[in-house]
Amino acid sequence: MTTFLDLVREQLGPHPFRYEHITTFRLEECLDLPAGLIDRLIRELIDRPDELPIEPLPQAVPTLTRLAEEAPLVFVTARDRAEPIQRWLKKTLEPVPPHSIWVIATGDPDGKLHYLKTHAIDYFVEDRLETCFDLARAGITPILFAQPWNRRPHPFPEVQNWQELATLLFQES
């Protein structure tokens, strides 16, 4: 979402919005911006992530690289197309063999559950709290990646960053 805010700045100039202001996935509810602008910029992020200056979060690359040594990386996204994010992931996760990066685009957050159940995936890292509740009801253990838009009470394991996720995944202290 920092790249989204950078794109807003490019379009409108200086603005008062910060990452912490994004308290829901429905951006028009938390940012005083025209809906058309929000839609256009989100579409740009979805269609061209590999062309934009989107940096991975700290420790994401080493954590995912290590995880890929044990199993393919499966990214299940609500985006409507896999190819753009697959290109970004392959570029960003250069140490990971391309055949070990799988991207499944469901086109809808609710579509994630079907894929995960069909492929017997027991754990899933997610930043959308509503999806975590759906996964838990279906017997999948969600791990919530903390973000400003998911700061409500919940019963799920939670990580604040990629280092915490690595500690959880690899049982490190």
**Helical spans, DSSP H, in 58-105:** 60-68, 83-92
Query: In the predicted model, is pLDDT for residue 173 greater than 60?
Result: no
pLDDT at 13: 87
Question: pTM of the full predicted structure?
Answer: 0.87
Q: Tokens representing 133?
A: 């509740």
- Kindly tell me the sign of the dihedral angle through the C-alpha atoms of 23, 124, 58, 97: negative
Return the structure tokens found at 33. Answer: 């911006």
Answer yes or no: are the C-beta atoms of 5 and 18 closer than 8 Å: yes
64 touches 33 (CB < 8 A):
no
| Structure confidence at residue 172 as a pLDDT band (50, 70, 90) | low
Domain locations in the chain as residue ranges: 2-47, 60-170
- Confidence label for 11 from pLDDT (cuts 50, 70 and 90): confident
Q: What angle do CA 14, 19, 21 make, to 5 degrees?
A: 90
60-170 falls under which CATH superfamily? HAD superfamily/HAD-like (3.40.50.1000)
pLDDT score of 110: 87
Rounded to whole angstroms, how far apart are CA atoms 102 and 69? 14
Distance CA 169, CA 125 (A): 11
**Selected residue with higher pLDDT from 132 and 21:** 132
Residues 75/104, Cβ–Cβ less than 8 Å: yes
Q: What is the pLDDT of residues 55-97, one digit of tens each?
A: 999 999 999 999 999 999 999 999 999 999 999 999 999 999 9
C-alpha distances in angstroms, 49 versus 9, 45, 85, 90, 91?
17, 5, 6, 11, 10
Contact of 33 with 5, CB cutoff 8 Å: no
